[in-house]
Amino acid sequence: MREHFDVVIVGGGPAGLAAGLYAARMDLRTVLVDRGPLGGQLLNTELIEDYPGIDSILGHDLAVKMGDHARKFGLDIREFEPVTEVDVDGDERVVRLESGNELRAPAVIMAAGGLPRKLGVPGELDFAGRGVSYCAVCDGAFFKNEVLAVIGGGDAALEEGEFLTRYASKVHIIHRRGEFRAQPILQDRARANPKVDFIMDAQVREIVGNGKTTAVKYESHGEPMELPVGGVFIFIGFIPNSDVLKVHADHDAEGYLTTDREMRTSVPGIWAVGDVRAQLTKQIATAVGDGTTAAVSASAYVSSLKDKARASA
């Protein structure tokens, strides 16, 4: 089945939902599809306390609020609709769905976010779901009173590492360098938590176990070390979901889509917002800003196409 819209949004995190709210409120026929439930990275975050105006809210609750808010303005939201391809067919941008259906529009906003980066060490994939996890909010409660390793040195590792101390008896944060890139406030909180311990200048080599994870092997200053743990949480960044684009769009070395100030990619009629876009940081506030800009730009684009069509009719 083919359906036609003014705007199709791929991805239902804060960037996509903000784009959807604005586009629908500007009276564009807008549909948003997400392969899972609404929320994107909000669903992997316990507590949000850096979204201006809201001093503290659960990630899940903010996702529900953003979805309800966008629906109020008429956004057509379709959850559990995986997208297989985003393509160009003449003047139309085509979003192909796993269901076999197609959504077509002159404007597509890519808000597809990304997936956790893998460490690429032996044992990681074997023990995924059996002690190896990429989401503290989803899996933390399975590790009551266990000793855990958290791998990474960015905001996610420090924030999620601290979060895991609710359940774990000890959390060892293992980082490959001597200093963290995480925000100082997150570092300070982790340091103040007696259940958190830091293993610096340590390169993880293997995750081992027998049916489930039992230890992590790492190398520190040339010395092989082994740390017994019940689980390993990996937070080493993100791989952008830009490869659903079947047409070439400019991107950086890591696959993040590059845009101009209106969030336009190098492909006319395709915008990129949020975590799939090359930018300094991945914050809810910046994602929402991206989505807003893209919706306003896409609205002007769709209007100019409609004006042209009317003039030539």
Q: Which residues bind ligand NAP (CB under 6 A)?
A: 50, 119, 151-157, 159, 176-177, 181, 235-238, 281-283
- SS3 label, residue 29: coil
How far does CA 283 lie from the centroid of its chain? 10
Looking at beta carbons only, is 257 or 302 nearer to ligand NAP? 257
Looking at beta carbons only, is 106 or 154 nearer to ligand NAP? 154
Shortest spacing between CB 290 and ligand NAP, in angstroms: 13
Shortest spacing between CB 31 and ligand NAP, in angstroms: 27
Shortest spacing between CB 96 and ligand NAP, in angstroms: 29
- SS3 label, residue 88: strand
With a CB cutoff of 8 Å and minimum separation 6, the contacts of 220 are 199, 201, 202, 203
Instruction: Return the DSSP state at 202.
Output: E
135 is catalytic: yes
Helix extents (H) in the chain: 14-25, 59-72, 136-139, 155-164, 184-192, 284-312
Nearest one of 182, 186, 142 to 166, comparing CA atoms: 142
89 and 255 Cβ atoms separated by less than 8 Å: no
Looking at beta carbons only, is 81 or 159 nearer to ligand NAP? 159
Distance of alpha carbon 217 from alpha carbon 225, whole angstroms = 6
Of all residues in the shown chain, the one whose CB is closest to ligand NAP is 154
| Residue 78 parent element (H or E) | strand 76-78
φ and ψ of 104, to 5 deg: -120, 145
61 is catalytic: no
Instruction: Return the DSSP state at 128.
Output: B
User: Measuring CA to CA, how many Å separate 27 from each of 23, 117, 167, 225?
Assistant: 7, 38, 47, 60
Shortest spacing between CB 305 and ligand NAP, in angstroms: 35
Q: Choosing from 68, 138, 243, 250, which is the catalytic residue?
A: 138
Q: Choosing from 50, 135, 197, 201, which is the catalytic residue?
A: 135
Distance of alpha carbon 178 from alpha carbon 220, whole angstroms = 11
Shortest spacing between CB 74 and ligand NAP, in angstroms: 31
Looking at beta carbons only, is 44 or 299 nearer to ligand NAP? 44
Q: Choosing from 61, 126, 139, 197, which is the catalytic residue?
A: 139
Looking at beta carbons only, is 50 or 219 nearer to ligand NAP? 50
Looking at beta carbons only, is 149 or 298 nearer to ligand NAP? 149
Shortest spacing between CB 245 and ligand NAP, in angstroms: 21
Through-space distance between the first and last CA atoms of the chain, rounded to whole angstroms: 28
Active centre residues (catalytic):
135, 138-139
